[in-house]
Amino acid sequence: MEEIKSFKDLDREVVEKGICGKCGGCVSFCSAGELNALEMTENDMPRYINEDNCQKCGICYMICPQTGTLNVELQEKFGWKPPIGDYQKVTSAQTTDKKIRKICTDGGVVTSLLLYLLERNLINGAIVSKKAGRFTRKAVIARTREDLIEAAGSTFSGSLHLEELGGKYTTYTPILSTVKSLEKRYLQDVAVVGTPCQINAIRKMQCLGIIPAHLIKFTIGLFCIENFSFDDVARERLEKKLDINLESIVKLNIKDDFIITMTSGVTIHVPLEEIDDVARTACFACQDFSNEYADISVGGLGSPDGYTTTLLRTKLGSSVYDEALHRGYIQERTFEDSEESKLEKTKMMAKIVSYSRRKRMRAEKKLSKLAGGEMLGEKN
Amino acid sequence: MERKTKAALVIGGGIAGIQAALDLGDMGIEVHLIEKKPSIGGRMAQLDKTFPTNDCSICILSPKLADCFRHPNITLHTLSEVKGVTGQRGDFTVKLRKYARFVDEEKCVNCGDCAAKCPVKVPDEFDLKLRKREAVYPYYLQGVPAVMTIDRENCLYLTRGVCKICEKFCTREAINFEQKDTDVTLDVGAIIVATGFDPYDPSGIPEYGYKRYRNVITSLEYERLICASGPTGGHLLRPSDDKPAAKLAFVQCVGSRDLKNNRYCSTVCCMHATKEAMLAYEHNPRVKSYIFYMDLRAAGKGFQEYVSRGEQEYSISYIRGRVAKITEDHNESPIVWYEETQSSKTEKLTADLAVLATSLMPRRDVEELGKVLGVELDEYNFFKTDPLNPLDTTRPGIFVCGCCREPTDIPKSVTQASGAAERAAETMMR
């Protein structure tokens, strides 16, 4: 029988090649099972704590979003179809809660959906990220309305958090390492808000029926072009290029372009191409923009200010959205007539599809380059 | 003339099958006891207490399980199914399929180290999916044989060729993925069928909202919830919010005495509802229970007195009226709508939890077993019997007892089992 691929292979094929998305899936599984073989480094990269503890079970390799081991199974399970995966409906919505509207990134749909799930006891916790300092974010478990509101804001726009780690800034929040501690807190049903790579790893774990993903009942996926990791060099380069001081940023958002809101209230729009050079290289190998396996995918793209573009994907996603709408947690954008509604929705979809294509093409290019490099390496 | 003594076969390791096997074994007859599940114990092992004595079910069952396991004349075949029966009374040839456990029964000490490390979580069948278990698991805590089993449907090694973590953590080297299913042939003189029942699925009555409303559960689910070794550790908590349930509505005849479902009376539900209401009161004297019934059937030794005690000492209100529908309020509390037949008024009652007394039905796969055994079933798919030979099936040499014959409570199942054992022994001594 073929040798089971273990973390050694994962390290060689993904981490060393620079395409690890830092989703934390491998580490969260390994620590949830108390196998104690893996940990996250300070830079959120997985590594062996102690190789002797590795049982060579092969599960970390299987659930990694970058190895593709379970891709076909996942596609079949979720009825994936091009170009953006399966979905039931696309809509533009916003929260009805004034307090949430004030602090949210787009329309506050994520906070309101989580609030609905919590208040109806459909979940007893949600993993979200929260501001821990001026540029620092960390993953927390929200169990009450207050927790959620405290965590709301650019938090949920996914690619937009700034996290200070050592001398580095990153826009990414590691959520999956929080999942491992869930059972100890007696949480049974949890919702997770995550980037496509995070949701992908969760879905793969659920395909296998393994811990800790068995606790996750609902997934909200964020649209994601890329996350940014600003080391000192990149940071300096960006500051120079845009002629701003990163310290004076209050809010980041991505819609048609990269939107930076400064403390002075000034908003700067930067074409996405111009900031590609500070994005994490792993993101260039990711093919999923619209979070194709989430129950509900959300983002600002395609909606006017104050609204969230919402893709209802799974049956569960649709029913939760419909109930939250019915119970008045959220409201949909109104249109003059059905013609306008149709037109706007077509425009929304066109944008999502075009961003998805862009990301997919970029990933294909990157991956084929990597494959080419490997061939060259073999020749040497 | 030398007497021909053959072995006997008992199909089903619930209380009826266990009693039949023990009686035959005690008569000096060799017995093969067949159980499809990983451990014997059956439905009785899932109950918290038994009526009309409120004995702890597993406590009075466990000694019998151990007796079966240790009995010199009884051979247990767990994870086994009867695949074919040929021959005739006194001389049957039985084909048995024994499924691999992937755990060496001789080596496993049931320590649970494997389950502690198994990364898979799937709904637990014994606890009616109210909790999750691992892919290597004990069928239930007190199960006999007391060894682990690997669930081939969910084990990552058996389905996908990865993992094997359990094997690495088992200090007894009891995990054995090389085990294969085997076919065994047994020569027996008589067969006793004791395959028990499956509960009716109340999703078939949409007006009761089962599966739609989280606080509407079945009696068997209730038994697990109130059982100390159950998923909530015996705390009667509402599934919707884990808050203690203090006001209980027991809805009787769910699927029984129902022209659209089963026309027969399931016979045990009036009594088990009374028992279940008593148990809640014993846990918390502030609990108030309402039992909605059509006719209160308390025909059995000590049963009527049991109901009277329920009314007088356990604050149970018996309300005569068939429940028309169940809705729920904003707290997800079930609202039971019924006609109070004594006053002919339509009434409603809001409870914390509604418990549906689901009908006892023949096992879903009983038709297949009927064909394998070559015996007839009745109009409801229970094994057909004759009023004057109530333990004989339509094929000579094959006998029947317990709930696969008709809905039967524990004392009567045991009585029938002893009767069936005697009938089988008589056949073989002929």
> How far is Cα A254 from Cα A243, in angstroms, rounded to an integer?
19
Distance CA B335, CA B249 (A): 9
Rg, Å, chain B Cα set: 23
Residue B43: phi and psi, rounded to 5, are: -65, -35
What's the pLDDT band for A135 if we cut at 50, 70, 90?
very low
What is the distance of C-alpha B14 from the center of its chain?
A: 7
Kindly report, residue by residue over A62-80, the tens digit of the pLDDT: 999 999 999 999 999 999 9
Chain B residues with beta carbon closer than 8 angstroms to that of A121: 240-241, 332
Predicted pLDDT at A343: 93
Where on the phi/psi map is residue B60: left (φ > 0), alpha (ψ -120 to 50), or beta? alpha
Q: Which of the four pLDDT bands, split at 50, 70 and 90, describes residue B366?
A: very high
Asked whether B221 and B270 are in contact (CB, 8 A), the reply is no
C-alpha–C-alpha distance, residues A279 and A299, integer Å: 19
Closest CA to B167 of B104, B122, B100, B106: B104
pLDDT at B5: 62
Tell me the C-alpha distance between B249 and B281, whole Å. 13
**pLDDT at position A176:** 58
Cα separation, A306 vs A12, whole angstroms: 44
Report yes or no: B168 at the A interface, CB cutoff 8 Å: yes
- In the predicted model, what is the mean pLDDT of chain B? 96
Q: Which of B382, B404, B374, B384 is nearest to B88 (CA)?
A: B374
Q: Domain residue spans in chain B?
A: 7-99+181-196+363-429, 113-169, 201-359
Please report where in the chains the tokens 């990414």 appear, as a residue: A172
Paired with A210 in beta bridges are B120
Provide the 8-state DSSP code for A11. Answer: I
Contacts 24+ apart (CB under 8 A), A242-251: A242/A268, A242/A270, A244/A268, A246/A135, A246/A169, A247/A134, A249/A162, A251/A105, A251/A153, A251/A154, A251/A160
Q: How confident is the model at residue B175 (pLDDT cuts 50, 70, 90)?
A: very high
Between A163 and B260, the higher pLDDT residue: B260
pLDDT at A128: 80
pLDDT of residue A271 exceeding 60: yes
Report ipTM (2 d.p.).
0.89
* Coil, helix or strand at residue B23: helix
Q: Which residue of B has its CA nearest to A54?
A: B165
CB contact under 8 A, B120 and A4: no
Q: What is the pLDDT of residues B369-409, one digit of tens each?
A: 999 999 999 999 999 999 999 999 999 999 999 999 999 99
According to CATH, the topology of domain B7-99+181-196+363-429 is: FAD/NAD(P)-binding domain (3.50.50)
What is the distance of C-alpha B264 from the center of its chain? 19
pLDDT at B208 > cutoff 70: yes
Q: Tell me how close the Cα of B330 comes to any Cα of chain A, in angstroms.
A: 9
Q: In a 3-state reduction of DSSP, which class is residue A207?
A: helix
Q: With an 8 Å Cβ cutoff, are B117 and A59 in contact?
A: no
By Cβ distance, the residue of B165, B240, B241 closest to A57 is: B165
- B290's CB contacts (< 8 A; 6+ apart) are B247, B248, B249, B250, B316, B317, B318, B319, B336, B349, B351
> Of the ranges A195-199, A251-255, B149-153, which is most confident?
B149-153
pLDDT value at residue A184:
43
Packing angle, helices B303-313 and B269-283, rounded to 10? 30
State whether A211 and B121 contact (CB < 8 Å): yes
Task: Find which of A210, A323, A327 to mutate to test the B interface (most B CBs within 10 Å of its CB).
Answer: A210
Mean pLDDT confidence for B55-78: 98
The class that CATH gives domain B201-359 is alpha beta
Using CB atoms, which residue from A2, A4, A33 is nearest to B119? Answer: A33
Q: Which residue has the tokens 């074919």?
A: B84
Contacts of A209 in chain B (CB under 8 A): 120-122, 135, 154
Secondary element (H or E) of residue A378? helix A338-379
CB interface of A with B, residues 174-213, below 8 Å: 208-211
Q: Kindly indicate the confidence band of residue A379, based on its pLDDT and cuts at 50, 70 and 90.
A: very low
Q: What is the pLDDT of residues A157-173, one digit of tens each?
A: 333 222 221 222 334 45
- H/E segment holding residue B250: strand B247-254
Mean pLDDT of A85-93: 96
Helix, strand, or coil (residue B389) = strand
Task: Tell me if A158 sits within 8 A of A195, measured CB to CB.
Answer: yes
Look at B161 and A55 and tell me if their CB atoms are within 8 Å: no
Structure tokens at A27: 């580490």
- The reply to whether B201-359 shares the fold of B7-99+181-196+363-429 is yes
- In the predicted model, what is the mean pLDDT of residues A46-55? 93
A137/A249 Cα distance (integer angstroms): 15
Q: Can you give the length of chain B in residues?
A: 430
Query: pLDDT above 70 covers what percent of chain B?
Result: 99
d(CA A61, CA A104): 36
A205/B115 Cα distance (integer angstroms): 18
Which secondary structure element, helix H or strand E, spans residue A194, and what is its range?
strand A190-194
User: Per residue in B83-116, pLDDT tens?
Assistant: 999 999 999 999 999 999 999 999 999 999 999 9
Describe the crossing of helices A25-32 and A196-208 by its angle, rounded to 10 degrees. 40
Taking CB atoms and an 8 Å cutoff, what residues of chain A touch B241?
121
Rg, chain A, Cα only: 20
Residue type, B71: H
* Chain-centroid distance, C-alpha A74: 17
Digit-coded pLDDT (tens) for B112-134: 999 999 999 999 999 999 999 99
CB B204 within 8 A of CB B261: yes
pLDDT at A115: 95
In whole angstroms, give the CA distance from residue B339 to residue B341: 6
Return the residue of A nearest to B159 by Cα. A208
Percent of chain B with pLDDT over 90: 95
